[in-house]
Amino acid sequence: MQRRQIIFSGRVQGVGFRFTAESIASNLNLTGWVKNNSDGTVTMEVQGEYFNIYQLLKELTSDSYIQIENVNSRTIDLVTSETKFRTIY
């Protein structure tokens, strides 16, 4: 089990990134959140099994509308009280 903070840049706003991320993460039983940033990037905190997080990233990069140019990822502390993945507005 791990939690990652991931910042995505590229064509990641206005292309359904957050909706897609929430849908995939929920299907993979991941928890966390995703939000747009004012600088055009998207921040995600995602928690779960390593393989499921990897699968989420793999599916996001295969979406034809989303174009991820850069990913900045780091491990952060677990949030044990979290129960689902959500979009922050």
Q: Which residues pair with residue 67 across a beta bridge?
A: 11
Cα(60)–Cα(39) distance, integer angstroms: 20
Q: What does the block give as tokens for 76? A: 């952060």
The DSSP element (H or E) to which 37 belongs, if any, is none
Catalytic residues: 18, 36
